[in-house]
Amino acid sequence: MEKIENANAESLRRMLHADPVLVDVQPAGKVIKGLGEGVILHSGPPIAWERMCGPMQGAVCGIAVFEGWADNLRQAQNAAAAGRFTFHPNHHFGAVGPMTGMTTVSQPVFIVENRAFGNRAFCTINEGLGKVMRFGGNDAEVLNRLRWIADVLGPALSAALRQCGGIPLKGLIARGLAMGDEMHQRNVACSSLFLREIAPSLAATVGGSKRLAEIFAFIAGNDQFFLNIAMAMAKAITDPAKDIAGSTVITSMCRNGADFGVQVSATGDDWFTAPVEVPTGMYFPGYSERDANPDMGDSAIVETIGLGGFAMATAPAVAGFVGGGAASEASQYTRAMYEITIGRNPDWTMPNLDYAGVPTGIDIRKVLRTGILPYINTGIAHREPGIGQVGAGIARAPLACFEQALVAVATSLGIA
Amino acid sequence: MEKIENANAESLRRMLHADPVLVDVQPAGKVIKGLGEGVILHSGPPIAWERMCGPMQGAVCGIAVFEGWADNLRQAQNAAAAGRFTFHPNHHFGAVGPMTGMTTVSQPVFIVENRAFGNRAFCTINEGLGKVMRFGGNDAEVLNRLRWIADVLGPALSAALRQCGGIPLKGLIARGLAMGDEMHQRNVACSSLFLREIAPSLAATVGGSKRLAEIFAFIAGNDQFFLNIAMAMAKAITDPAKDIAGSTVITSMCRNGADFGVQVSATGDDWFTAPVEVPTGMYFPGYSERDANPDMGDSAIVETIGLGGFAMATAPAVAGFVGGGAASEASQYTRAMYEITIGRNPDWTMPNLDYAGVPTGIDIRKVLRTGILPYINTGIAHREPGIGQVGAGIARAPLACFEQALVAVATSLGIA
């Protein structure tokens, strides 16, 4: 099938030649068309209110209060049940969001521009760890933090990014990989490098030393701060690889807490879904698998470009955190992912594998031929709304998604 | 020799139980007794002006002009040759310095307090890369930078460190090790973590956004910024391990560009020296081994506590930089160092070796028994003054130092 090989090569070429730059932070409503009152973007493939899991319903209620569409959580829940909100996947709007993935009009979003192809992608700002909206948190503490992010942090990051002309991400990720980040469950290096890079511009543009100190303390207090930037970057990288006739390369993987969804280049925005599993992982003290929600979030977009579970070899410290076994076994995950990908990224290399590039371009044919499913390093949310993260683990993309996708691509080529 | 075993165990215990905290930055003259006009501390064991190598003589002339003891380099050289300066090793004053290691009255120094034992150690602030005084640079650019460090950076760091109550270093090093730093030729993680940790306090205490931006840009522009903090920390850790009767554990290794010097716990401040070698390494474009100066600096104090070449396993990215072979071979260096040390540091572990602790406590008996010499990851200076760094490599401590040391310890025990 030369046509498929050529199409796949083109998908890979577009991913490898991306030039993602973090250019700005703006309120989502200003940069994402179609947002407005009652419109809520969520993670994963499409889902109706009734089928949403506990933490996602909790986040919906919280964000409705945050946006002023309801006075309290109870009212928000009634409004949702009465169909007064419109739900869409982030992916339909050039956006991505971690875990519950709420994106609404007033929230500031990172804007990553792919300068090689001229497209842009968006992701909200990471709220930190513990009780946060992405894990279903929705009380006053959570909403006040979101307000501070919207009123103080977002505008400050915007001014700083404009002052320095944006932060190119390709080289930053390369450095982060050499420092043990896989950019999904471990972002300590990139979060630190990001702060280091933007610090002079923040200092030059933020008025008031108290406010500036607060901003630094917030960013510095969160090892996962960079995750949302990595996600927007990954979305900016995968979007140009879409819609190539015959390409069997995956362009997105995501979960909404009920379904796992996959998109393939040849079939554009079509979703191939299957029930999502509970990750296999490690739980924080006091929690167990009984508390766990099935996997959630658009964050598997980082695996789609060869990071996260695919780059585990470079991040031995994350292997234990996600229950992936001994540090010395971390490279086995990456080696398995080479079996289902069509290339290696020469710009993103792993010292532990003597500078082999990360496995890039998941080919659904290779997944089906080998039976090897993509590894996704993920956080685990409590199944009840309002509690938050209870662990971290490894999720596998379900085989059924890839089976459906192959049939659809074959049909599009007139083969099936 | 039960006495030796017990003494060594006590040396190791003191090193492992250290609690180093970066507490302040002050002008050297304020905190190091005995500094004053014409007094110059240098790296390595004692050395007279006539025997100093090119870059060290260059640095002496530069620092004399910086301190106002001479109007220009020529005058400074004449003053040095006429014996008008007094030279001492940093190590005699609780201090350490990288490469040429100039420490004089007006230069600000990091102060690391070992809270478990109450002692303090000192090191100047890293100037950055390229043409700098520690590599023998001495022109107006170099001296102006030193003035800015003394007038602006030092006082700012002092205020920030006092505001935040100091930065504990033990945990920070642990994180850096998990991020691929060995804290000698690779400090990118710890430099970033340091900036991240001190940023809120700098923001709160530095007046003027332009000045603050300048400070952030300076620190952020130097991946090796943390080296000098690591060195002061290592000195603060090794000093309490000194003067234990019968202990054959190394308490310092250093080089002055002519001699390699070693100190052993049992014999306190006595030096055991031998000619220092040119490191085996990699050269920057346009330079070769012909340009290289023999090894210099007190920086091998980090190897003395199990970092640098001893922790190469955790820093595969540095192996190539210092000419240590493939990244996958990095752990061989650490494995060899286990052969000549008496313990492992349980707080400083390496994911790549499934969280084995770094090799700690070099035993001169083990060095002599195995013939395995300590590995030191080092920078390479040009042999002429004023040029700067030309490469990086691996140096070995000379066997003769250890032979002399063993005889001296044996004599101290009445055995020889």
Q: What is the mean pLDDT of residues A12-17?
A: 98
Name the packing angle between helices A54-66 and A73-81 (round to 10°).
Answer: 110
Domain that holds residue A264: 243-412
Task: State how far the Cα of B93 lies from the Cα of B106, in Å rounded to an integer.
Answer: 15
C-alpha–C-alpha distance, residues A108 and A105, integer Å: 8
Q: Does residue B3 form part of some domain?
A: no
Tens digit of pLDDT per residue, chain B (416 long)?
799 999 999 999 999 999 999 999 999 999 999 999 999 999 999 999 999 999 999 999 999 999 999 999 999 999 999 999 999 999 999 999 999 999 999 999 999 999 999 999 999 999 998 789 999 999 999 999 999 999 999 999 999 999 999 999 999 999 999 999 999 999 999 999 999 999 999 999 998 899 999 999 999 999 999 999 999 999 999 999 999 999 999 999 999 999 999 999 999 999 999 999 999 999 999 999 999 999 999 999 999 999 999 999 999 999 888 888 888 889 999 999 999 999 999 999 999 999 999 999 999 999 999 999 999 999 999 999 888 899 999 999 999 999 999 999 999 999 86
In-domain check, residue B360: yes
Q: Are A230 and A25 in contact (CB under 8 A)?
A: no
As a whole number, the mean pLDDT across chain A is 96
Q: Do A180 and B178 touch (CB under 8 A)?
A: yes
Q: Do A351 and B180 touch (CB under 8 A)?
A: yes
Q: Is the pLDDT of residue A385 over 90?
A: no
Least trusted range by pLDDT, from A89-93, A126-130, A197-201, B200-204: A126-130
Q: Using CA atoms in the order B198, A27, A172, B311, what is the torsion angle rounded to 10 degrees?
A: 40
Q: Domain boundary at B203, B231, B259, which? A: B231
| pLDDT value of residue B203 | 97
- Asked if residue A146 and residue A46 are part of one domain, the reply reads yes
Q: Which H or E run includes A321?
A: helix A316-321
Q: Is B247 found in the same domain as B220? A: no
**Best residue in A196, A210, A223, A348 to probe B by mutation, most B CBs within 10 Å?**
A196
Q: Are the beta carbons of B217 and A195 separated by less than 8 Å?
A: no
Please indicate, yes or no, if residue B11 is contained in any of the structural domains.
no
Asked if A203 reaches chain B (Cβ–Cβ under 8 Å), the answer is yes
Residue A87 lies in a domain: yes
CA distance B132 to A93: 51
Of A267, A308, A294, which is closest to residue A401 (Cα–Cα)? Answer: A267
**Given an 8 Å threshold on Cβ–Cβ distance, is B203 in contact with A195?**
no
Cβ–Cβ under 8 Å, residues A5 and A243? no
B160 lies in the same domain as B265:
no
Nearest 5°: the CA angle B175, B181, B184 is 130
Last residue of a domain, one of B173, B206, B231: B231
Which residues from chain B sit within 8 angstroms of residue A219, using beta carbons? Answer: 196
CA of B83, closest CA in chain A: separation in Å? Answer: 45
Q: What is the pLDDT of residue A320?
A: 85
Question: Domain check: are A206 and A117 in the same one?
Answer: yes
- Is residue A165 situated within a structural domain? yes
Residue A379 has pLDDT above 90, yes or no: yes
How many angstroms from the chain centroid is the CA of residue A65? 24
Which H helix or E strand runs over A231?
A: helix A227-238
Integer angstrom CA distances of residue B188 from B84, B176, B247: 40, 8, 35
Long-range contacts of range B28-33, CB-CB < 8 Å, 24 or more positions apart? B28/B95, B28/B103, B28/B104, B28/B105, B28/B106, B28/B107, B28/B108, B28/B109, B28/B122, B28/B124, B29/B104, B29/B105, B29/B106, B31/B109, B31/B111, B31/B120, B31/B122, B32/B93, B32/B94, B32/B95, B32/B103, B32/B109, B32/B122, B33/B93
pTM above 0.90, yes or no: yes
Please give the C-alpha separations between residue A2 and each of A6, A151, A249, A343, B113, in angstroms, as whole numbers: 6, 53, 14, 17, 67
Q: Which residues of chain B neighbour A217 with C-beta distances below 8 Å?
A: 200
Two tokens, residue A288: 């167990």
Q: Does B180 sit within 8 Å of A179, measured CB to CB?
A: yes
Q: By mean pLDDT, which of A215-219, A273-277, A387-391, B308-312 is the weakest?
A: A387-391
Check whether A129 has a pLDDT greater than 90: no
A209 contacts chain B (CB < 8 A): yes
Same domain, A45 and A174: yes
| Separation between Cα atoms, residue B17 and residue B117, nearest integer Å | 9
pLDDT > 80? residue A416: no
Structurally, chain A folds into a number of domains equal to 2
Chain A interface includes B316 (CB < 8 A): yes
End-to-end alpha-carbon separation of chain B, Å? 14
β-strand pairing of B341-350 with B356-362:
antiparallel
pLDDT in tens, A20-36: 999 999 999 999 999 99
Beta-strand relationship, B296-297 and B280-283: unpaired
- Residue B293 is assigned to a structural domain of this protein: yes
Give every CB contact of residue B233 below 8 A, 6+ residues apart in sequence: B20, B22, B112, B121, B169, B173
Of A195, A210, A231, the domain-final residue: A231
For residues B319 and B352, membership in a common domain is answered with yes
Task: Give the 3-state secondary structure of residue A359.
Answer: strand
- Measure the CA–CA gap between B96 and B92, rounded to whole angstroms: 9
Paired strand residues for B122: B95, B111
Rounded CA gap, A159 and A165, in Å?
10
Minimal CA separation from A181 to chain B, in Å: 8
Same domain, A347 and A387: yes
pLDDT of residue A386: 82
Say yes or no: B298 and B200 in one domain.
no
> What SS3 string covers chain B?
CHHHHHHHHHHHHHHHCCCEEEEEEEEHHHHCCCCCCCEEEECCCCCCHHHCCHHHHHHHHHHHHHCCCCCCHHHHHHHHHCCCCEEEEHHHHCEECCCCCCECCCCEEEEEEECCCCEEEEEECCCCCCCCHHHCCCCHHHHHHHHHHHHHHHHHHHHHHHHHCCEECHHHHHHHHHCCCCCCCCCHHHHHHHHHHHHHHHHHHCCCHHHHHHHHHHHHCCCCCCHHHHHHHHHHHHHHHCCCCCCCEEEEEEEECCEEEEEEHHHCCCCEEEECCCCEEEECCCCCHHHECCCEECCCHHHHCCCHHHHHHHCHHHHHHCCCCCHHHHHHHHHHHHCCEEEEEEEEEEHHHCCEEEEEEEEHHHHHHHCCCCEEEEEEEECCCCCCEEEEEEEECCHHHHHHHHHHHHHHCCCC
Q: Which residues pair with B381 in a beta bridge?
A: B389
- Residue A208 forms contact with B (CB below 8 Å): no
Please give the average per-residue pLDDT across A341-369, as a whole number.
97
Q: A79 falls in which pLDDT band (50, 70, 90)?
A: very high
Quickly tell me which residue has 């919280």 as its tokens: A62
Q: Is the pLDDT of residue A233 over 80?
A: yes
* Separation between Cα atoms, residue A122 and residue A101, nearest integer Å: 12
Same domain, B129 and B183: yes
**pLDDT tens digits, B345-394:** 999 999 999 999 999 999 999 999 999 999 999 999 999 988 889 999 99
Please tell me which of the candidates B196, B200, B353 has its beta carbon nearest to residue A196. B196
- In this structure, what CATH number is given to the domain that contains residue A30? 3.90.1710.10
Nearest-Cα distance to chain B for A338, in Å, is: 19
3-state secondary structure of A292: strand
- The alpha carbon of residue B357 and the mean position of all alpha carbons in its chain are separated, in whole angstroms, by 21
The count of C-alpha atoms lying within 13 angstroms of the C-alpha of A222, restricted to the half-sphere facing its C-beta, is 20
Instruction: Give the separation between CA A125 and CA A367, rounded to whole angstroms.
Output: 33
Residues A172 and A256 in one domain: no
* Phi, psi dihedrals of residue A310, rounded to the nearest 5°: -70, -30
The whole-angstrom separation of Cα B31 and Cα B335 is 39
Chain A residues in contact with B213 (beta carbon < 8 A): 200-201, 203-204
Quote the minimal CA–CA distance from A87 to chain B in Å: 38
Instruction: Strand B108-114: give its sheet, edge to edge.
Output: B95-96, B119-124, B108-114, B20-27, B167-168
Gyration radius (Cα) of chain A, Å: 20
CATH number at residue B266: 3.90.1700.10
pLDDT of residue B230: 98
Q: Are B378 and B301 in contact (CB under 8 A)?
A: no
Beta bridge partners of B110: B25, B123
Q: How many Å apart are CA B11 and CA B3, to the nearest integer?
A: 12
pLDDT at position A387 is 85
CA distances from A369 to A361, A366, A406 (A): 15, 5, 11
**A205 and A342 assigned to the same domain:** no
Residues of B in contact with A222 (CB under 8 A): none
Express each pLDDT in A157-186 by its tens digit: 999 999 999 999 999 999 999 999 999 999
**Cβ-based neighbour number of residue B143 at 10 Å:** 17
A348 lies in some domain: yes
Among A189, A199, A328, select the one facing B354 at the smallest CB separation: A328
CA distances from B253 to A207, A353, A389, B281, B398 (A): 48, 33, 48, 19, 10
A256 and A148 fall within a common domain: no
What is the 3-state secondary structure of A1-59? CHHHHHHHHHHHHHHHCCCEEEEEEEEHHHHCCCCCCCEEEECCCCCCHHHCCHHHHHH
Residue A327 has pLDDT above 90, yes or no: no
Q: CA-CA distance, A87 to A100, in Å (whole number)? A: 12
Closest C-alpha to A352, from B311, B349, B224, B318: B318
- Give the minimum alpha-carbon distance from A52 to chain B in angstroms, rounded to a whole number: 38
Residue B81's CB is within 10 A of a number of other CB atoms, namely: 12
Task: Specify if A13 maps to a domain.
Answer: no
Q: How far is CA A232 from the centre of its chain?
A: 7
